[in-house]
Amino acid sequence: MKWSLSELRKFQDTAFTFEEHLELEDVSNRQDVLDVNDIFVKGSIRNNKEEFYVNIDIKANVKMIDSRSGEDVIYPLSVTSIETFDESLEEDEDIEDPTLHPVLHELDLEPVIIELINVSIPEVYSESNELPDSSNTENWNVYSSVEEFEKDQPVDPRLKKLETLFKTDETED
């Protein structure tokens, strides 16, 4: 997905729109991501002197390993972003804003699309609501608040005498 800047400047008064199905190789190098396919990208590019504003919508299917069951699952990825390509920036310039990119003669969206896909894939994903059998969670309790947890905890007998100190301090106030 590359366009020359001179081609994009022809759309000075209107937005240049695009829609494309992509086949990208080696999108992610994570061990739990097996494949990224059915990548559909659409968007628009607006020109403002030396800056090009790109609205990108990405939809893809990420085949990854379920973090609970270990089975292969499909994660439906959807990413929307606004990226800015600026001609006045140098290639080696240190840029704080991750949505700002230097551009020279042509606007190439492929590296940006790969980056957006990679940062949008969740670290942990599971289609199952159940914990695996081997998780040793038989004696686990889930508490909705700290107070509920503290009520359920027995007081250590060695600290039982200290409890009387707190009760007398509260009554003196």
pLDDT for position 96 = 76
Q: Which CA distances in Å does 113 have to 55, 141, 169?
A: 11, 43, 62
pTM, two decimal places:
0.69
Residue 56 has a pLDDT of 95
Q: Domain residues of the chain, as ranges? A: 2-120, 140-172
pLDDT at residue 105, rounded to an integer = 84
What is the pLDDT at residue 132?
57
Measured between alpha carbons, how far is 146 from 155 in angstroms, rounded to an integer?
15
The per-residue pLDDT for 10 is 82
pLDDT of residue 26: 83
Residue 136's pLDDT is what? 63
Residues of the chain with pLDDT under 70: 92-93, 129-138, 168-173
